[in-house]
Structure 1
Amino acid sequence: MRMTKLLDAQGLEILHEGQRTRLKWHRLRKRFADRLFSAQVMAEGFAIGASMELDLRVRADGGFVVLHDSELEGETTGHGPIAGTSLADLRKIRMKDGDRPLTLSEDLAAMMQSSHPAALLQFDIKDDYEAIGVGGIAHLAEHFRDVSASVIVSAGSLDLIVAVKEKLPHLLRGIDPTDKLYDIRQAGGWKAVETELRADLSGPSEPDTVYLHWPLILAAAKDGLDMIGLCRDEGKRVDAWTFTLKDPEAGFSEDEWRSFSALMALKPDQITTDEAPATERAWRRRVAG
């Protein structure tokens, strides 16, 4: 086992048994203590080649804002549904943590003009295609057609990803069938899950990456279904989300270590975390004995 030569503090990846597993910075947080969707963290990630994720919500004019929730109350000083809020009103609203302006899709495009070649930014679109429509896809095409940074667009809506493929074919695509697969597991068992996952992998969205909840991956593996292996056999990468240490200073608890080491044994391409540097350090301490 050999580790990345990058500094521990960077939290970029773990190399284990020949497999490179990237540590993706969830919601633009390198550490849980970082501000949500931090432009400063994004700039650092672009500079050193990190894999990062942010969430996008559609606004009233068909553009987007970097937020996770569908309502403004949770993360901002605003009120009401984001999809019904105008661009002008969003410019008046602040993030609750740090009293910062919201990041709009137009701002985001301007921030992405230079990056390390290994940097990857995931746009996780939280609304479905019905909410976004042709106008939203046209907005993405207008603002992100010429960005030099590597971008992967993900969503739970397969129709949305197909629309992105048609308008922005140069961007990578990701799908997240997790919620659907949990429902199918409950109703029809793991064989039905396997059948559905295979259909998604070969479907018209043509994903590069499949995003799967890490407990679902481990539950399937325990019952004999290697979801990561299945995806990789089809040429797809797998991101296991979201594994965050409860105590980043102390490292893995025994339960966390059992889960994380079992997950690493399945060789995911990427693990989403809110504590990337701490996870890398904790892994290194454990494997060093």
Structure 2
Amino acid sequence: MSQTSTPSAPDPARPPLYVDFDGHRTMLKWHRGRRRADDPAFTASRIMEGMRLGASIEVDLVIHADRGFAILHDRVVDHATTGTGAISALPAAYLRGLSLRDNHGRALDEPVLLLEDLTELFSTVDVAPSSILQLDFKEDDAALDPRAVDIFARSVEPLASHYILSCGDAAAVRTLTSAAPGIRIGYDPCHHGAADAVIRSGDFDGFVAGALAASPDAEMIYLENRLILAADRRGYDLVDAFHRHDRLVDGYTVTRVGPRSVPDIRRLLELRVDQITTDDPEGLAALDLDAAADAGGSRLVRWVRRTGRRGPSDV
């Protein structure tokens, strides 16, 4: 392996914000606010920590009964919180009284967060200039009404430059960002079967053109890693295609970091993705990418024994 392709040695004292590889810095996005693989999702403590450290963080948004936004992934609260019911039918006061659950279902001393509460929450920490909080809207434009749009705009206004909105519906992106001056704009063109369709057809040029036309103001394009790698295997560099149009690329999601995921992670870095979404930023930042060259060999065995990381990867 050439000297220029060697990643910088991980610093255990450095927070897991990025990986430097072959002269290119790839940010590590804390998926659902997770810094470590065993972290529960969407906790105020981790989100505040990330904003203080300068991390790229992602949270999900679902509209509640009072037309504001709950920071949760599912449309119901039963699994992730101490409450029950559909979020669309639950008022803000009820949601604020709930606690999150950990990955084993145990109640935490962490409240359910609402988007409209973040300004007050972040007033208690020194937000780093480089911090970015991705707001991934899990619904579509049809779910929005003037009240929801107004609450969104008022909620993000104090720290708009630290937020980037993403959604799989370009119309929803336009509706919400048009009401929130200064917010950054992202777009995910992989929804509604689009990733599978382009993998089947091989029309990657058409996919890129369609994404650019659907959300012309997006600075970040969110792509499934399986799509990036499928295109690469067929000789098409999706990352470069968007780079040539001055768009950044986020590859999602590395759910588990382990020996089996090393080759794909390394290839994403070689393709110069600008950001990798992962549930284990710490594990990815500490990853020994040289292990890919010795897959099945003694170095990889030592790596597994040293870290204790096993199980399948999902890149």
TM-score with structure 2 setting the length: 0.82
Tell me what 1:249 maps to.
Answer: none
Q: Which runs of 5+ in 2 are unaligned?
A: 1-5, 103-107, 294-298, 300-315
Is 1:105 aligned to 2:115, yes or no? yes
What is the Cα deviation at residue 4 of structure 1? Answer: 7.7
Tell me what 2:194 maps to.
Answer: 181
Tell me what 1:3 maps to.
Answer: 8
Equivalents in 1 of 2:118, 2:243: separation in Å?
Answer: 31
Report the CA distance shift for 1:283/1:208 in structure 2 as closer, same or farther (over 3 A): farther
Deviations 1:62-119 (A, max 9, x none): 1011100011112112222111211222233322231432111222121234411111
Aligned with residue 123 of structure 1, among 129, 135, 141: 135
* Secondary structure in 1 matching 2:159: coil
Tell me what 2:243 maps to.
Answer: 232
What is the Cα deviation at residue 182 of structure 1? Answer: 2.1
Tell me what 2:157 maps to.
Answer: 145
Report the CA distance shift for 1:70/1:273 in structure 2 as closer, same or farther (over 3 A): same
Tell me what 1:220 maps to.
Answer: 231
What is the Cα deviation at residue 9 of structure 1? Answer: 4.8
Matches within 5 A, 1:1-80: 1=6, 3=8, 7=12, 9-80=14-85
TM-score with structure 1 setting the length: 0.89
Equivalents in 2 of 1:5, 1:201: separation in Å?
Answer: 36
Contact 1:165/1:205 (CA < 8 Å) preserved in 2? no
Equivalents in 2 of 1:287, 1:223: separation in Å?
Answer: 21
Matches within 5 A, 1:74-89: 74-89=79-94
Equivalents in 1 of 2:216, 2:173: separation in Å?
Answer: 6
Q: Which runs of 5+ in 1 are unaligned?
A: 247-251
- Percent identity among equivalent residues? 30
Equivalents in 1 of 2:57, 2:96: separation in Å?
Answer: 24
Contact 1:141/1:168 (CA < 8 Å) preserved in 2? yes
Contact 1:115/1:149 (CA < 8 Å) preserved in 2? no
Equivalents in 1 of 2:9, 2:149: separation in Å?
Answer: 38
Aligned with residue 206 of structure 2, among 195, 199, 207: 195
Corresponding residue pairs, total: 281
* Secondary structure in 1 matching 2:38: coil
Deviations 1:208-251 (A, max 9, x none): 101111111100111122111111111111110111335xxxxx
What is the Cα deviation at residue 19 of structure 1? Answer: 0.9
Q: CA RMSD in A?
A: 2.2
Q: Which has the higher contact order (CA 8 A, sep 6+)?
A: 1
Q: Which moved more, 1:14-23 or 1:146-155?
A: 146-155
Contact 1:8/1:280 (CA < 8 Å) preserved in 2? no
Tell me what 2:313 maps to.
Answer: none
What is the Cα deviation at residue 168 of structure 1? Answer: 1.3
